[in-house]
Structure 1
Amino acid sequence: MIENDGWILVRTKGSHKQYKHPDKKGLVTIAGKMSDDIASGTLNSILKQAGLKNE
């Protein structure tokens, strides 16, 4: 989802993946395996960090 917005995977350590956007500030870290379900609160936090959801 965040990759569709232009976020690029820049770092992986264990099950944590960090994404950077060429135009937006900061990094977005996503923990866990891609096959795992993400809790709704965690998903909302990721979307807010990526600027894909309003506060």
Structure 2
Amino acid sequence: MKPKELIKKIETLGWKLDRIHGSHHIYKKDNETISIPVHNTDMKPGLLNNILKKTGLK
């Protein structure tokens, strides 16, 4: 999955962009924070699964 696809999904769940640090977009919801590396390649499965679990998509 490309990072831009993931960003669209988590934004529909209420995650808000807090800041951008280099190529990493930092999103916040309540007191949770996630960092999404934004590159033109697919995300590695381990990182993707971690983010999906933390956001509640998995």
Q: By the TM > 0.5 criterion, same fold?
A: yes
Instruction: Give the deviation of 1:42 after TM superposition.
Output: 1.1
Pair 1:8-2:16 in alignment: yes
CA deviations on 1:3-51 (whole Å, 9 max, x unpaired) are: 1111111110100111012xx4310111132x22111111110111212
In structure 2, the partner of 1:27 is 33
Pair 1:44-2:49 in alignment: yes
Which segments of 5 or more consecutive residues in structure 1 lack a partner in the other structure?
none
Q: Identity over aligned residues, as a percent?
A: 44
Q: CA RMSD in A?
A: 1.4
Which segments of 5 or more consecutive residues in structure 2 lack a partner in the other structure?
1-8
TM-score normalised by structure 2 residue count: 0.71
TM-score normalised by structure 1 residue count: 0.74
**Which structure carries more helix by proportion?**
2
Query: Following TM superposition, where does structure 1 have runs of at least 4 consecutive aligned residues deviating by more than 6 angstroms?
Result: none
- Separation in structure 1 between the aligned mates of residue 34 and residue 26 of structure 2, nearest angstrom: 6
